[in-house]
């Protein structure tokens, strides 16, 4: 297989929100992502003229989380939000220790608690999860100190481990995970 040219970074990921102000307050004031653009638009989309507002919240690498809100109730109902009620549908953002600690502090100060926020020690990373005003789970992931070594091991055996799993061997392979009680 030839080496494919990879995209350079995520430009943005987009979601529909039922309340742009609640979404702005959460991402800007609680999480700390700056509102970097607001586009108010009208387009012919999917067989009808649609009027909407599209807000972008910036990440350090220049990418963004974007949220749409539609002017008409019919468009709003048609396009979302329809967030599944599962922790396995979420967006994960990489943070360093200082940023993760600051976000955790703002989450607590804003009055969030379980089940809307929780922390998992995965062994290869530590993740803080919080549910946004739309019901979407956002994860703030800090790599373990030995992340380069761990990632190299998983990259080396990624195909073999996938084949093993798909072949029916569902034994775990995360020897890096540690018990929070230990």
Residue spans in the chain of domains classed CATH 3.10.180.10: 9-82
Q: Which pTM does this prediction carry?
A: 0.84
**What confidence score (pLDDT) does residue 181 get?**
28
Instruction: For residue range 140-177, list pLDDT tens digits in order.
Output: 999 999 888 888 988 999 999 999 999 999 988 888 77
The pLDDT-based confidence of 180 (bands split at 50, 70, 90) is: very low
Closest by Cα among 85, 82, 53 to 66? 53
Pick the CATH number of 83-182 from 3.40.30.10, 1.10.287.610, 3.30.720.110, 3.40.50.720: 3.30.720.110
Q: Is the pLDDT of residue 84 over 90?
A: no
Residue spans in the chain of domains classed CATH 3.30.720.110: 83-182
The CATH class, in words, for 9-82 is alpha beta
* Strand ranges for the chain from DSSP E: 12-16, 35-45, 48-58, 64-70, 90-94, 117-121, 125-131, 137-143
């Amino acid at each position: 297989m030839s080496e494919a040219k990879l995209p350079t970074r995520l430009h943005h990921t987009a979601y529909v929100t039922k309340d742009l102000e609640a979404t702005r307050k959460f991402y800007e004031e609680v999480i700390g992502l700056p509102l970097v653009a607001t586009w108010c638009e009208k387009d012919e989309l999917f067989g009808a003229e649609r009027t909407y507002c599209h807000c972008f919240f910036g990440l350090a690498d220049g990418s963004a989380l974007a949220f749409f809100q539609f002017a008409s109730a019919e468009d709003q109902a048609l396009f979302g939000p329809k967030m599944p009620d599962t922790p396995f549908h979420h967006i994960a953002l990489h943070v360093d220790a200082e940023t993760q600690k600051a976000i955790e502090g703002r989450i607590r100060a804003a009055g969030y608690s379980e089940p809307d926020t929780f922390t998992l020690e995965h062994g290869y990373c530590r993740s803080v999860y919080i549910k946004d005003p739309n019901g979407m789970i956002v994860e703030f992931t800090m790599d373990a100190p030995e992340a380069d070594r761990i990632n190299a091991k998983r990259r080396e055996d990624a195909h073999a481990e996938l084949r093993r799993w798909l072949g029916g061997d569902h034994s775990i392979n995360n020897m890096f995970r540690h018990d929070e009680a230990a």
